[in-house]
Each structure stands twice: as C-alpha cells, then as structure tokens.
Chains A and B, each alone.
Chain A
Amino acid sequence: MLDPILQLLWIVIKILIIVLPLLGVVAYYTLAERKVIGFIQLRVGPNRVGFKGLFQPIADGLKLLTKELIFPTKSNKYLFVIAPVMAIAPSLAAWAVVPFSPHLVLSNVNAGLLYVLAMTSLGIYGVLFAGWASNSKYAIYGALRSAAQMVSYEIAMGFSLIGVLLAANSTNLSDIVMRQSGGIWHWYFIPLFPLFLVYWISAVAETNRAPFDVAEGESEIVAGFHVEYSGIMFGVFFLAEYANMLLLSILVATLFMGGWLSPFQGIPVLGALFSFVPGILWLFLKAGFFAFVYLWIRATFPRYRYDQIMRLGWKVLIPVTIVWLVVASFGVHFHIGPWFS
C-alpha cells in the first residue's frame, strides 16, 4: 500500500530536480538574450540591477508578479487563464525523456522520440486558446498565423526525425545517442546534414522565433496572440517560449550532435585527456551552443514575409527531407560508412 505512494513521491522529487533548475536557466536565458543581442548591436544590455545586471530576471519576474491581471470584456475567462498553462506544460513535460547522461534520464521509454514529437505538437494549443479566448482581432490573427505555421513546419520536423530513426534503428533517445558513439565523425549531423539543417530551421519556426515570428509581428498585429495578456500570465507565455527554445536546443544536441558523448572520443591523445569531463557537461555545452544560435539568428535576420514562410516550409524543406530520407534508406540498406552499420 505504502510502496506505490513512495515510488510516486520519488518520481515527483526527480521531476522537481529537473524542472526547478530548468526554470532558473530559462530566467537567465532571457537575460543572456538581452546581453548577447546587446553586444551584437554594440550596446551593453541591462546592467543596472545587481552586478552587471545579473539580478535583472528576478526584477522582471517580481515586476510581472505584482502587476494587475486584466481580463478583456467578453473573453472566455476559463480558456484565457488556461492558455498560458497549456503553452508551458508541454515544453516542460517533454524533458521527461531527455537523456542527460548514460544513466541520468527520468523515463527511458522506448517511444521517446514519438513522445517528444507529441509534446512539441501540443504546444500550439496555448497559442490557439489565447488567440480565441482573448476576443480580440489581433490575438486571433496571431493565433491563426501561428497555427498554420506550426502545422506546416511540424511535417518537415517529423520527416527529419524519421531520418534519425532510420539511422539509429530505434526510437529510444538513449539508444540514439549510443548509436552515435565512436567519435565526432559518427555523429548524425554528417550523414544526415540536410535533415539536420531542416530540423534546426523547423525548430526555430516551431518556437515562433525570429525570423519566423509572424505570430507576434509587432509591426503588424501589435504582439499577436498574447496582446491581451498582462502581468504574470504574459510572463508564463514568455517562459514557455524560452523553455521551448532550450528543449529544442537540447534535442538537436541529442539527435544530431551525439548527446552526452565527448567530441574527443576516439582521438588518441585528446580523448584520454578529456575523458574526465562528465557527459552531462558536453550535452550542456552543445545545447548551449544551439541556444546561442537562436539569439544570434534573432539579432541577424529580418522577419520573413508570411507567404515566404509557407513557401519555405512546403516547397523547400519537405521535398529536401523526402529526398534525403531516400538517400538515408539506401545508406541503411547498403551499410554505408560508420553511421549506418
């Protein structure tokens, strides 16, 4: 009788061990974004609160917490409140299957890749609920743009995951990492390079980040789907976006860049020299690089026009993935290279 409850409690503790540091990292990722973009644009970024602006996220959080929550007239209160929750819940839930090191994973399920795909596809409901429940034309336009965009890019994303699945012969994320072991030349970004690019572009589009951020499009529709949100409810949308970015960064690192594996593996001197570094550190370094690329892209590229986004998704990315899936299938059939053995 008591045993299952203890088990459940232990799982809850493990979830907290993942989620609480994650939320801290998300908070400081927002600061990192402002700092990095500031330096790219030759500014200093926030530097007033605390040492060099280090307490800025805490100040922002407190500010949002103390602000008034405004409900628009004739809005659907229930959906209006639940929308930010629907935005952040899937991006946190997906972390359950992320393998941090060979034995450090909350749930080592066989269908891990499918679970991740299912969770990332749920994120759209927060946007849709927010758009519809706000009873505002800007919000509904933002939600519709975002919905169409996410459904389109999910197809390209799913197809590029099928390439990984083909090469690894497994949908278990830990197995996918193990199949890439043996050195940096075994990682899947080499044989599946087009799929890697497609996955990364769709990852940027899925999170509604620049240059695909027409869902917000502040010059056209104010702030898109969360235009009517104030206070901490807006804050939760903000956190959800950054949690999603971190999730997709870590997924790219896991699926295409060898996850927790050391890049010096298999190299005579360097491999032994760096063998003391724990795997989790390599994973965070790789994911951190992709998280930085998100900010770099935002500071570099102008926003896409809406028809260009749709054209890129349907007429460029999806054909590329289909062609490369055929190539990967041949690779698997003829056991080409060290990748498809």
Chain B
Amino acid sequence: MIQQVIFYLFAALLIFSGVRVVASRNPVHSALFLVLAFVAAAPLWIMAGAEFLGLVLVFVYVGAVMTLFLFVVMMLNLDEVPRSKGFVRYLPFGLIIVGLIVTLMLNVIDPSHFSLHVNAGMIVPQHHSNTKELGLMLFTQYLLPFELAGALLIVAIISAIGLAFRGPRARKVQDPSAQIAVKRNERVRLVNMEAEKKS
C-alpha cells in the first residue's frame, strides 16, 4: 500500500519535472528541474531493488555532474528564451528522435519482460546485497565491456582537456615549492637604526 503511494508520488514528480525541463524558459530553471528529475528517479530505482544504482544516480549525477552543469549555466547569465522560438523548425527532428527512441524501447523493454506474471516469481531475500551482486557481475562476467567503458571515459576526459587547452600562455601562477622554500632573509631586511636623539 505505502509502497504504491510512494511509487506514484515519485513517478508523478518525475514526469512533472521532466516536462518542466523542456518547458521552462529560464535555462537555470530547466537545469534545476533536471536535478529534481534525477532525485525523483532514484527512489524508483531503489524500490525496484537497485539501491546501488539509485544512490549512485544521486551522488554522481545530482552531487557532481549537475553541480558543474548549474555552475556553467549560472555563470553564462542566459536570458529567458521565448517559448515559441524555433519550435516549428526543430519539431520534425524532435519527432524523428522520439520515434527512434520509442521503437528502441519497445524492442528492448516490451511489456512481456515487465508484466506481473514474469516478475511474480522473483523473491528477493532480506539480506540480498544488490551492490555485491553488481560488483561480482561487473568484475567477472562483464569485465571486458566494463574496462572498455573505462577506457572510453579516459579518452573523453583527455580529449576534453585537449579541446579546451589553447597552448601555454603567460599565466600568473604561483609556484608553491618556491613559496615554501623562501627564506626570511630574502623577504625582510633588518636594519639597525641609530636612535635620533642622543639621551
């Protein structure tokens, strides 16, 4: 009972925030609703028994990725865009992409995998550790795809640095080792002053 209430609550929140991501005119609001969408999706995953994925969603996407995203959006100081601008122009592309995604999803996760009578036999023991199972699978059966994904991420990181790096420029960067190694005599000159008035 309570589980269903929680599920529908978060599902409704997820749909609402998903719509607002697209419908908001202020880019910062869109980014914030995307954060809300991630937060609303995490409990659904946790309720499906994937507590590891749900928590990783919160602390990777919400805690790190979206923070940087908001960081950029807040810095850019974008103006509010009129809602109708470019709507008709981009509509065909949008429809094509939506159609492709829907066909893909219908093929991969059609109702025959997710109806009640398929999942009825799946009973999770009380101390079943989803995290441990996932780790075992990733590092034994799916080691190669996992390592390949890691290599791909490294390539993406290095290429992002490569794209953003525009050659060494004259930067005003301090050298910490030089700062630490400095001696008193290099900075301060002690001068012995004679007293002005002879007493």
Binding site for B on A (CB under 8 A): 1, 4, 7-8, 79, 109-111, 114-115, 117-118, 121-122, 124-125, 128, 131-132, 140, 143-144, 147-148, 150-151, 154, 171, 307-308, 311
Contacts and interface: CB of A to CB of B under 8 A. Distances in A.
19 contacts: A4-B2, A109-B51, A110-B130, A114-B52, A114-B56, A122-B63, A125-B35, A125-B62, A128-B67, A128-B70, A131-B74, A140-B74, A143-B74, A144-B74, A144-B75, A147-B67, A154-B63, A154-B64, A171-B131
Contact of B74 (A132, A307, A308): A132
Given A111-B131, A140-B74, A311 B55 contact: no
Given A109-B51, A114-B56, A132-B28, A144 B71 contact: yes
Contacts of B28: 132
Given A147-B71, A151-B67, A8 B58 contact: no
A118 B75 CA distance: 25
Interface of B: 1-2, 28, 32, 35, 51-52, 55-56, 58-59, 62-64, 67-68, 70-71, 74-75, 127, 129-131, 173-174, 176
A151 B51 contact: no
A148 B74 CA distance: 13
Contacts of A311: 176
Closest CB pairs A-B (n = 7): A121-B63, A118-B59, A118-B58, A114-B55, A121-B59, A4-B2, A110-B129
Contacts of A151: 64, 67-68
Q: Which of B55, B58, B71, B75 has the most CB of A within 10 A?
A: B55
A109 to B, nearest CB: 7
B136 to A, nearest CB: 13
B2 A8 contact: yes
| Interface SS of A by simple majority | helix
A176 to B, nearest CB: 13
B108 to A, nearest CB: 27
B51 to A, nearest CB: 5
Given A111-B51, A118-B59, 17 more contacts: A4-B2, A110-B127, A110-B129, A110-B131, A111-B55, A111-B130, A114-B55, A121-B59, A122-B59, A124-B67, A128-B71, A144-B71, A147-B68, A151-B68, A171-B131, A307-B173, A311-B176
Nearest to A121: B63
Contacts of A115: 55
A148 B55 contact: no
Contacts of A109: 51
A131 B74 CA distance: 10
Contacts of A147: 67-68, 70-71
Contacts of A131: 74
A308 B64 CA distance: 21
A7 B56 CA distance: 28
Contacts of A79: 32
